[in-house]
Chains A and B, each alone.
Chain A
Amino acid sequence: MKNFDLKNQAFPGQNETAVNYSSKFRNNNKDTKNRPPWFQRDFNLSKRDGEKIREHLDNLTNDEIMGLYYEMREVKEKWDKGYYYPNIQILFGTPFEREKDRREQQIWSEKYGQENEIVEWYKEAKERSCVWWLENHIIARHALSASGCMSCGACTALCPAAEFFDYNPRIIMETVQEKNEDEIIQLLKLDTIWYCFQCGSCKPKCPRGNNPFGMISSLRQLSQIKGYHVYSVRGRQQYAARHLWGGNLWNRAFTLYFRDIAVETHRDFGPRHEISFNHKEEYFRRVGASPDMDGSLSSRKVHPKTLYEVRRLWEAGGALYLWKLIEDAAKKQADELDITIDEYHDKVKTEG
């Protein structure tokens, strides 16, 4: 089978003419300040801004918000033998995009989500007990062998999280296999389960072939399904995660967008990172990547049809339902704290 031309990243037969757009966006992360707050990504929105954003976004209809979003996103210009989409990096991670995701995902799950068997299962799980989950969720079932845990501690011995946090996978496995509803609920409300690194060091060490980190991943899912994650600081962060990874997946079909690693939140990445950040597209393009461009290599813009396919899959896979649950739990807590959802997003992203 023939690949299309890798060096010249434009698609074959792609002949629409590009709008002649100014290149200023290609190194535009300087002038974010001049944008309206719903296009700003920086932390700690002042209260006023938070309300301004809400006011503005709530007044937009679905059609308006999505119309504007896609109009902006599809704007493209010809650049270095390909097509470059300058607005993607303006839109990503903004309150505007988050709002659009909320509404769009709502529409998708209404449109395609009728009698979705996966979602039905998770809805049932929400009603059932935690013990039921442990006995039925596919990951949980495979994570704890019939013979159970013999509490030898081989998992904790190597666990990177156990070294740095007050965290002990063995004890979690113990709690789980006791199948005491109250204790499990207690566990789900604590920071504990969120300390796991998901590195899997525990799996090959278990003499009974159990899988502690799988079990913890399952518990985290459960915690979110039941809405217990908001009780703990680390659990709450899932709201930020849902928009970081979830947003990237939903809009760009990547869990990490190459402009995500903002300098101000990644000072630890050293001086070169700051230098490279300003003109990332230029440098990326130079080594042959296709930043925000049609193409097939690193950090490319994913084709809308591809995006449509995977969105359907995530809808069918119950991701939208999970995201909705996280969203609702967050909204509820935001109201209790009397802050807007955008302020809440920045709160959970920065606390801890």
Chain B
Amino acid sequence: MTEYNKLFSNSARESLWKRYIKDIPDDGYFLTLSCILGALYPGSECMVPKVYELFGLNWGTNPKPESGWTCCSGIAYHGDIMPIEGTLLTVARLWSLTQEMGFDAITMSCVTSFGIHCECKDLYEQEPGLKEKIDRLLKQSCGREFEIPKHILHISDVYYRYRNQLRDNFMKYQLIEKKTGRPLNVVDHVGCHYSKLFPEEHSLGGSEYCEVLSGMGAAWGGKEIDYPERRHCCGMGFRQCMISPNRGATMASVHKKMKSMDSFQPDLIITNCPGCQVFLDKEQWAIYEITGEKYFIPVVTYQELAGLLLGWDPYRTVGIQFHAVPVEPLLDKIGIPYDDSESWLGVADRQIY
């Protein structure tokens, strides 16, 4: 194997991704969360407010208890049971909530959602008269008004914006192997709907050398890995993964990525897309069972990674017990203490088993 930095010029990559910069405001974020992440890795999302509080940011979720944020219906749209108008309206309502709270940036932790928001924005720009139509319908059905928000941000953008402050002021650990001092090999998997739908307008670093995750990885001490299938879909594919008989293709896609990244000896995979997080993590089990190939590369969301490096409790706060592939080996490498007897305690640490 030839020397890695002979295969891949990081400086050139720098100059490439710098062509796709997006403007990330300091605060004033309206927070919406993800269906998938919320159903499988609740820790990730519950840590977002905590991180915001660290910086004392101005942010909010529900203007009123009885009128809060909801799903953007993006999965339903890509799962083809929601007409585009329905999605436009759902998103319009979220935007109107944002304005009701006086924010001009809406942030979401779901990449599908991010894609949908951008899609809607794009449609309004391309389609004359659409805005008026949706305005009318929104007014009729729930008496709201909305404007197209100034910023559509994925929460990973926000984390990226604060990555250095996090490291310098709060982080206890770095992505460095404790024993050897070697920087860990970080594989970033950016959600397709983050980087590919609108690379010029909305993605930080474009679709090819997307910066949002590898930037965090680098800032927190890791070493970026560029492998052949880097930009490829995890195979979540909405109807492919959620309707069980179709899931073979999802596994196959994950398998393909795993095979491809394996020769670069990755230590962990960072994701910013709930779907990718779920299937890159979980399907490694299926692959192990079917082919006997035991990759078991820990897959963590950027929120979880931040949480771990901030020294928050792996089980009580970060929730690594929800991972199919054990994250503990990664903790050992970094040197984060944990007590795995605490993994399956209930509320207020009550013993369940």
Count of A-B residue pairs with CB < 8 Å? 308
The minimal Cβ–Cβ distance linking A66 to chain B, given in whole angstroms, is 21
Most buried by A among B63, B233, B252, B345: B233
The answer, among B39, B49, B102, B319, for a CB contact under 8 Å with A299, is B39
The minimal Cβ–Cβ distance linking A247 to chain B, given in whole angstroms, is 10
- Which residues on A are within 8 Å of B, measured CB to CB? 1, 3-4, 6, 11-12, 14, 27, 79-80, 112, 117-118, 122, 138-139, 142, 158, 160-161, 163-165, 194, 196-201, 203-204, 217, 220-221, 224, 234, 237-238, 240-242, 244-246, 248-249, 253-258, 260-261, 265-266, 268-273, 275-276, 279, 282-289, 291, 294, 296-299, 302-306, 309-310, 312-319, 322-323, 326, 349-352
Interface-forming stretch among B135-143, B152-160, B330-338?
A: B135-143
The minimal Cβ–Cβ distance linking A176 to chain B, given in whole angstroms, is 17
Residues of B near A273 (CB, < 8 A) are: 282, 324
A221-B80, A317-B87 known; A1-B102 Cβ under 8 A: yes
The minimal Cβ–Cβ distance linking A80 to chain B, given in whole angstroms, is 5
The minimal Cβ–Cβ distance linking A268 to chain B, given in whole angstroms, is 4
Q: Is residue B176 contacting chain A, with contact meaning CB distance below 8 A?
A: no
Residues of A near B297 (CB, < 8 A) are: none
9 nearest CB pairs, A to B: A317-B86, A197-B237, A298-B38, A289-B42, A270-B285, A268-B286, A282-B346, A288-B46, A270-B324
Q: Check B285 against A322 for contact (C-beta < 8 Å).
A: no
A276-B321, A283-B346, A289-B45 known; A249-B73 Cβ under 8 A: yes
Q: Is residue B101 contacting chain A, with contact meaning CB distance below 8 A?
A: yes
CA distance A305 to B62 in the complex (A): 13
Q: Check B123 against A279 for contact (C-beta < 8 Å).
A: no
The minimal Cβ–Cβ distance linking B258 to chain A, given in whole angstroms, is 14
How many chain-B residues does the 8 Å CB contact rule pick out? 104
The answer, among B84, B193, B242, for a CB contact under 8 Å with A200, is B193
Specify the chain B residue showing the minimal Cβ separation from A164: B249
Residues of A near B43 (CB, < 8 A) are: 287-289
The answer, among A165, A294, A306, A322, for a CB contact under 8 Å with B249, is A165
Residues of B near A302 (CB, < 8 A) are: 68, 70
Q: Check A201 against B196 for contact (C-beta < 8 Å).
A: yes
A234-B246, A352-B243 known; A313-B65 Cβ under 8 A: no
Give 25 A-B contacts (CB < 8 Å), ordered by A residue. Answer: A1-B60, A197-B235, A199-B193, A199-B233, A199-B237, A221-B80, A241-B242, A254-B39, A255-B79, A268-B282, A270-B285, A282-B346, A285-B347, A287-B316, A289-B42, A297-B45, A297-B49, A298-B37, A306-B68, A313-B90, A316-B85, A317-B86, A323-B81, A352-B245, A352-B246
The answer, among B85, B231, B243, B348, for a CB contact under 8 Å with A241, is B243
CA distance A50 to B349 in the complex (A): 43
B37-74: which residues lie under 8 A (CB-CB) from chain A?
37-40, 42-43, 45-46, 49, 60-63, 65-71, 73-74
Q: Check B71 against A299 for contact (C-beta < 8 Å).
A: no
Residues of B near A257 (CB, < 8 A) are: 39
Q: Check B90 against A317 for contact (C-beta < 8 Å).
A: yes
A268-B251, A316-B137 known; A1-B63 Cβ under 8 A: yes
Q: Check B283 against A268 for contact (C-beta < 8 Å).
A: yes
Q: Is residue B33 contacting chain A, with contact meaning CB distance below 8 A?
A: yes
Q: Check A282 against B89 for contact (C-beta < 8 Å).
A: no
Specify the chain A residue showing the minimal Cβ separation from B241: A197
CA distance A312 to B33 in the complex (A): 21
Q: Is residue B35 contacting chain A, with contact meaning CB distance below 8 A?
A: yes
Residues of A near B74 (CB, < 8 A) are: 255
Residues of B near A303 (CB, < 8 A) are: 65-68
